[in-house]
Amino acid sequence: MSIRRSIAVLLLLAGVTAAAQENTPDSTDLFFKHLELKEIVVTGLAGDAKMREMPAPVSVIRPADLAARAAGNSMHAIAAEPGVSEITTGGGISKPVIRGMGYNRVVVVNDGIRQEGQQWGDEHGIEVDGACVHSVEILKGPASLMYGSDALAGILIFHPEPVRAPGEVGGSFSGQYQTNNGLLAYSLAADGNHSGWIWNGRFSDKYARAYSNPVNGPVSNSGYRERAGSAMLGRNGSWGYTRLRFSYFHLHPGMIEGEGENFGYTPALPFQHVRHYKVVSDNTFHVGSGNLKVILGWQQNRRQEYEESEREAGLDFRLNTVNYDVRWQGNWNHDWKTAVGLAGMFQKSDNLGDEFLIPAYGLFDAGLFATATKTLGEWTLSGGLRADIRWLHSEARQGRFEDFRRRFSGISASLGAVRPLGDHFTLRANLARGFRAPNLAELGSNGEHEGTFRFEVGNKDLKPEYSLQGDLGLDFTSRYVSVQASAFVSRIDNYIFAARNGEYSDEGLPVYAFRSGLAHLGGGELGVDVHPIHQLHISSAFSCVYAREKGGDDLPLIPAPRLFSEIKWEITHDGQLFNNAFVAMNVDWNMAQNHFYAAGGTETATPAYCLLGASAGTDLVIKGKTRLSLYLVGSNLTNAAYYPHLSRLKYLGIYNMGRNITVKLVVPF
Q: What is residue 451's predicted lDDT score, i.e. its pLDDT?
A: 61
Average pLDDT over every residue of 215-225: 96
Distances (CA, A) of 440 to 349, 380, 458, 460, 669: 10, 40, 8, 9, 47
Q: What is residue 9's predicted lDDT score, i.e. its pLDDT?
A: 40
Contact, 90 vs 267, CB < 8 A?
Answer: no
Nearest to 82 by CA among 514, 575, 454, 473: 473
**pLDDT (tens digit per residue) in 136-153:** 999 988 877 878 888 889
- The CATH class given to the 3-668 domain equals mainly beta
Nearest to 66 by CA among 116, 147, 128: 128
> Average pLDDT of the chain?
88
Average pLDDT over every residue of 14-43: 45
> Coil, strand or helix: which one is 580?
strand
The answer to whether residue 322 scores a pLDDT higher than 50 is yes
Strand pairing of 510-530 and 454-457? parallel
The answer to whether residue 169 scores a pLDDT higher than 80 is yes
Q: What is residue 59's predicted lDDT score, i.e. its pLDDT?
A: 87
485 HSE (CA, 13 A, CB side): 20
Distance, CA of 8 to CA of 483 (rounded, Å):
16
Contact, 81 vs 138, CB < 8 A?
Answer: yes
The answer to whether residue 22 scores a pLDDT higher than 50 is no
Distance, CA of 264 to CA of 207 (rounded, Å):
10
The answer to whether residue 251 scores a pLDDT higher than 50 is yes
Of 215 and 54, the one with more pLDDT: 215
Distance, CA of 448 to CA of 631 (rounded, Å):
44
Distance, CA of 188 to CA of 307 (rounded, Å):
34
The answer to whether residue 245 scores a pLDDT higher than 70 is yes
Strand pairing of 609-622 and 625-635? antiparallel
Q: What is residue 51's predicted lDDT score, i.e. its pLDDT?
A: 77
Q: Residue type for 601, please? A: G
For the chain, percent of residues with pLDDT exceeding 90: 65
**pLDDT (tens digit per residue) in 266-285:** 999 999 999 999 999 999 99
**pLDDT (tens digit per residue) in 355-411:** 888 899 999 999 999 999 999 989 999 999 999 999 999 988 766 788 999 999 999
Q: Burial, 99: exposed, middle or buried (Cβ in 10 Å; 0-12, 13-18, 19+)?
A: buried
Domains in the chain: boundaries: 3-668
Average pLDDT over every residue of 62-80: 81
Distances (CA, A) of 602 to 104, 502, 512: 20, 10, 9
Nearest to 201 by CA among 242, 230, 160: 230
Q: What is residue 31's predicted lDDT score, i.e. its pLDDT?
A: 38
Q: What is residue 601's predicted lDDT score, i.e. its pLDDT?
A: 83
For the chain, percent of residues with pLDDT exceeding 70: 93
Of 354 and 32, the one with more pLDDT: 354
DSSP string, 195-222: TTEEEEEEEEEEEE---EETTTEE-TT-
What values do phi and psi take at 412, rounded to 5?
A: -110, 150
Q: What is residue 91's predicted lDDT score, i.e. its pLDDT?
A: 72
Residues in the chain: 669
Least confident of 74-88, 211-225, 371-385, 559-573: 74-88
Could you tell me the pLDDT band of residue 46, with boundaries at 50, 70 and 90? Answer: low
As a three-state string, the secondary structure of 221-255 is CCCEEEEEEEEEEEEEECCEEEEEEEEEEEEEEEC
**pLDDT (tens digit per residue) in 406-460:** 999 999 999 999 999 988 999 999 999 999 999 999 998 888 766 667 888 999 9
Could you tell me the pLDDT band of residue 499, with boundaries at 50, 70 and 90? Answer: confident
**pLDDT (tens digit per residue) in 539-587:** 999 999 999 998 878 999 999 999 999 999 999 888 788 999 999 999 9
Of 661 and 2, the one with more pLDDT: 661
DSSP string, 481-507: EEEEEEEEEEEEEEEEEEEEEEEE-TT
Of 147 and 316, the one with more pLDDT: 316
Q: List all residues 6 or more positions away from 331 whose beta carbon is below 8 Å from its beta carbon.
A: 289, 290, 337, 338
**pLDDT (tens digit per residue) in 507-540:** 888 899 999 999 999 999 999 999 888 889 999 9
Could you tell me the pLDDT band of residue 37, with boundaries at 50, 70 and 90? Answer: low
Q: What is residue 264's predicted lDDT score, i.e. its pLDDT?
A: 94
Strand pairing of 536-549 and 135-140? unpaired
Distance, CA of 200 to CA of 355 (rounded, Å):
40
Distance, CA of 137 to CA of 466 (rounded, Å):
24
**326 strand-pairing partners:** 294, 342
